[in-house]
Amino acid sequence: MAERVGRDGFDCAPLRAALAPLGVLVGARRIRPGDEAAFADPDLGRPANLARRRASGAARIVARDHLGELGADAAAPLPRSPSGAPAWPAGIIGSLAHDDVFAVAAVARRGLLAGIGVDVEPAEPLPADLVDLVLNAAERRATMGDEVKQRLVFVAKEAVYKAIHPLDGTPLEYADIEIGLGEGRAKLCDGRCLQLVTLAGERLVAVALVWEGA
Ligand SMILES: CC(C)(COP(=O)(O)OP(=O)(O)OC[C@H]1O[C@@H](n2cnc3c(N)ncnc32)[C@H](O)[C@@H]1OP(=O)(O)O)[C@@H](O)C(=O)NCCC(=O)NCCS
């Protein structure tokens, strides 16, 4: 079962509360030994990748838990598609992410929402050598030197990539996305707009939503 509130995962209750009215279910789980059994990873034969396989399994445990709540197949294998994105049951959209300690998943029924992306990172500063690569001038001004907020911008851009890439294969770069953390919006260089819901607590989490027709 995915942790609901903090118990052994981090507290993502505020994120869950913000997303539930939009029809999006999100959850987190501390990655544990044995979680690798939850995913028939194509890298199974490579023992060096145990941590990664464990994280992938943990994310799928969280996702399946929520698929059950949506009335979808709670045993769905969720294999990786050739692009790397997970393949969801018919009528479902979703996204997975993991850092070294936690796995997260967000799922919804396809309908008004066309795409979802999620990312998670520890609440630590964005390494200085990444700031100029990831943030544009407006984002640097808005984050006012707050290195953890800068990392949240990074997390948001990764979430946007995961929401958009499965839709049309757009190969987004950081410079193609402008994040407005205050407005809860991401703008793409092609004019498209995504809604952003973010959490800055023990972990940094961003969920990017593509509304149909937006
Ligand atoms: C997809 C990507 C953003 C994932 O980020 P990451 O930090 O490596 O790993 P995360 O733990 O956050 O996410 C991994 C999950 O992303 C998902 N994912 C991978 N490729 C994906 C894609 N093309 N579309 C959507 N989701 C994808 C998978 O579910 C994966 O989990 P799994 O391996 O257990 O199945 C990254 O690997 C990537 O492909 N980047 C290239 C593009 C880029 O960086 N552009 C600049 C950012 S805008």
What distance in angstroms lies between residue 85's CA and the mean position of ligand 1's atoms? 7
Q: What is the C-alpha separation between 96 and 174, in angstroms, rounded?
A: 20
Mark whether 43 and 134 lie in a shared domain.
no
- Give the C-alpha distances (Å, rounded to integers) separating 121 from 6, 71, 73: 16, 29, 28
pLDDT tens-digit series, residues 69-98: 999 999 999 999 999 999 999 999 999 999
Is the CB of residue 166 below 6 angstroms from any atom belonging to ligand 1? yes
Identity (one letter) of the amino acid at 81? S
Q: Give the per-residue pLDDT at 3.
A: 47
SS3 category, 11 = coil
SS3 category, 100 = coil
Q: Give the per-residue pLDDT at 6.
A: 47
What distance in angstroms lies between residue 21's CA and the mean position of ligand 1's atoms? 26
Final residue belonging to a domain, choices 116, 141, 175: 116
pLDDT tens-digit series, residues 103-162: 999 999 999 999 999 999 999 999 999 999 999 999 999 999 999 999 999 999 999 999
Mark whether 158 and 180 lie in a shared domain.
yes
- Report yes or no: 205 and 15 within 8 Å, Cβ to Cβ: yes
Q: What is the C-alpha separation between 27 and 39, in angstroms, rounded?
A: 18
Domain total in the chain: 2
Q: What is the C-alpha separation between 192 and 80, in angstroms, rounded?
A: 26
Indicate whether 48 pLDDT > 70.
Answer: no
3 assigned to some structural domain? no
pLDDT tens-digit series, residues 157-186: 999 999 999 999 988 999 999 999 999 999
102 assigned to some structural domain? yes
pLDDT-based confidence at residue 45 (cuts at 50, 70, 90): low
Domain that holds residue 27: 13-116
pLDDT-based confidence at residue 7 (cuts at 50, 70, 90): very low
Mark whether 77 and 154 lie in a shared domain.
no
Final residue belonging to a domain, choices 101, 116, 131: 116
